[in-house]
Amino acid sequence: MKIKETREGVYEVGGGVATKSLAPGIQVYKEKIIKEGGAEYRLWNPYRSKLSAALKKGLVNFPFRHGTKVLYLGASTGTTISHVSDIVGREGEIYAVEIAAQCMKSLLRLSEQRENVIPIHGDARKPQEYEEVGKVDAIYQDVAQPDQDEILIINARMFLKNGGIAMIAIKSQSIDVTLEPKLVFERVLKKLESHFEILEKIKLEPFDQDHLFVVLKFKA
């Protein structure tokens, strides 16, 4: 099977997106594994990961590479984090913030397999609880809350380097179910523009409905 590196740490494998496993022999979410040339490539399911969906939809701005320090808000069980872990490698760090205790069990297992994943059981609305993280190169946010824009802003102020990149999956149904998604997106983007330069906007259909994936550059 032809394997092509499309950007640092990201591969095209049989028409799908994949990452080279940092922990060979271990599946995280029953993803398909392709073995080639002594390496294992984990297919990155776009229906399970909004970042993979954005890549499938032509994402251009991609801040993750070997050694990147990442703050991940809304870590859930670690599906997307596991692929970012593959990309940033052993020199990188992913601080994975999650409030749900049940999800933390999966994150703790993941951190045992991957030393670059640091789980934080905390509330993303209270970044002072994990201020020891320090400055990061990128923030990735996937939080299903009506104030997800404010959550990103307060975390960027505390942690994101000037000129650093933030990624957010805006979920219109989590913000206001009474408004058309387009109006919700416009309202959130207007607020974010006060603190970030908008680099890219991608609708995630057919992988996720009523989601807008946005890439931002921080203006400290």
Q: What is the pLDDT of residue 209?
A: 86
- What number is the average pLDDT over the span 139-166? 93
Q: What is the pLDDT of residue 192?
A: 94
Domain that holds residue 119: 46-218
User: Does 89 fall in a domain?
Assistant: yes
**Distance from first CA to last CA of the chain, Å, rounded?**
45
Q: What is the pLDDT of residue 210?
A: 84
User: Does 1 fall in a domain?
Assistant: no
Residue 173 has pLDDT above 80, yes or no: no
How far apart are alpha carbons 151 and 144 in whole angstroms? 11
Residue 72, helix vs strand vs coil: strand
- What number is the average pLDDT over the span 119-141? 97
Instruction: Answer for the pair 116, 94: CB distance below 8 angstroms, yes or no.
Output: yes
The separation between CA 34 and the C-alpha centre of its own chain, rounded to angstroms, equals: 23
> What share of the chain in percent tops pLDDT 70?
98
- What number is the average pLDDT over the span 137-163? 93
How far apart are alpha carbons 196 and 141 in whole angstroms? 14
Instruction: Answer for the pair 17, 52: CB distance below 8 angstroms, yes or no.
Output: yes
How far apart are alpha carbons 43 and 46 in whole angstroms? 9
- What number is the average pLDDT over the span 132-155? 93
Q: What is the pLDDT of residue 162?
A: 92
pLDDT band at 174 (very low <50, low <70, confident <90, very high): confident
User: Does 9 fall in a domain?
Assistant: no
Give the H or E element holding residue 7: strand 3-7
Beta bridge partners of 139: 71, 166
User: Does 22 fall in a domain?
Assistant: no
Residue 185 has pLDDT above 90, yes or no: no
User: Does 113 fall in a domain?
Assistant: yes
How far apart are alpha carbons 15 and 34 in whole angstroms? 13
CATH code (residue 129): 3.40.50.150
pLDDT band at 180 (very low <50, low <70, confident <90, very high): confident
User: Does 27 fall in a domain?
Assistant: no
User: Does 80 fall in a domain?
Assistant: yes
Instruction: Return the higher-pLDDT residue of 32 and 180.
Output: 32
Residue 104 has pLDDT above 90, yes or no: yes
User: Does 88 fall in a domain?
Assistant: yes
Whole-prediction pTM: 0.94
Q: What is the pLDDT of residue 74?
A: 94
Considering its fold, how many domains does the chain have in total? 1
Largest CA distance in the chain: 52
Instruction: Answer for the pair 104, 120: CB distance below 8 angstroms, yes or no.
Output: no
Residue 177 has pLDDT above 80, yes or no: no
Q: What is the pLDDT of residue 88?
A: 98
